[in-house]
Each structure stands twice: as structure tokens, then as C-alpha cells.
Amino acid sequence: MLINIDPLLSPELLHALRAMGHGDEIALVDANFPGTSNAQRLIRLDGVTITDAASAVLSVLPLDEFVDVPVFTMEVVGNPDEVPPAVADLRAIVGDRAACGTLERHAFYARARTCFAIVQTGETRLYANIILKKGVVRS
């Protein structure tokens, strides 16, 4: 056990977050995402919502301040301006810490394949996928 660490941050996830360097990206994805076939490292958080996972990760992960958009969500196929409820919730969690961009579905898959890790949650809401770019940890 550790003090002040969200219990959703499993040992495997904490290791990945700590091993990431500035500019590395991590994808938090829903239960429908093809995680196993796209991940360099797949970390499972079955039974955990995307919003709980994002809140836990962002409690320890700084976002990159040196890029204009360090956060990306997946666009709705055929309606890129639509904001699904899960995406609205993720944007609220990110808040004013960083700008959120969007990526077309296949562009999101391609970018997720380059991420340091993919964290597959048990989220069942559609389009509940987000990529976070790690920033500098300041002392």
C-alpha cells in the first residue's frame, strides 16, 4: 500500500506511468477498443470506468505543456462534431489543465499503436477513448 495513491493505479499501471518519459503517450480506452491487437503494452482495468481510470491517472501524470494539444479523444464516425457523454466527461476531468483535440477513428487507432501503453477499461459507453501525452515532472 502507498499513501495518497488512488487504489485504481495498479502496480503494473504505476510502473508504466513512472517508466514513461516526457512526450510519451498513454491511451485509456473502452471495453470495445481492440487493445490486445494494438498495444505494445496492454494494462487491463476490467470493471473500471474510463472516467475513474482517467481521474486516477491524471492524479499522478502531468500533461505536456510544450505542445498545443496534449490530449486527444476519438471522433464519432460520420459525425466528428458530436460529443458523446463519455467524451464530455473526459474533457471535464482534464478541465483547464490542457487543450483536448480529436482524432478520426483510424487515426486514433494508429496513434494508440505508438503509445507507451494502452490501458483497457471496462467502460461500455461508446467512444470512451483518450490519449494523454506525459509532461515534465517538476520538483
Mean pLDDT of 115-135: 98
Which residues neighbour 11 within 8 Å (Cβ) at sequence distance 6 or greater? none
pLDDT digits (tens, 9 = 90+) for 93-114: 999 999 999 999 999 999 999 9
- Mean confidence (pLDDT) of the chain: 97
| pTM (two decimals) | 0.97
pLDDT at 1: 73
Mean pLDDT of 9-16: 97
- Grid coordinates belonging to 65: 505543456
pLDDT at 44: 98
| Residues carrying an active site annotation | 22, 64, 109
Q: With a cut of 90, say whether residue 116 has pLDDT above it.
A: yes
Half-sphere exposure of 121 (CA within 13 A, CB side): 26
pLDDT at 48: 98
Enumerate domains of the chain plus CATH numbers: 11-133 (3.40.1650.10)
pLDDT at 19: 97
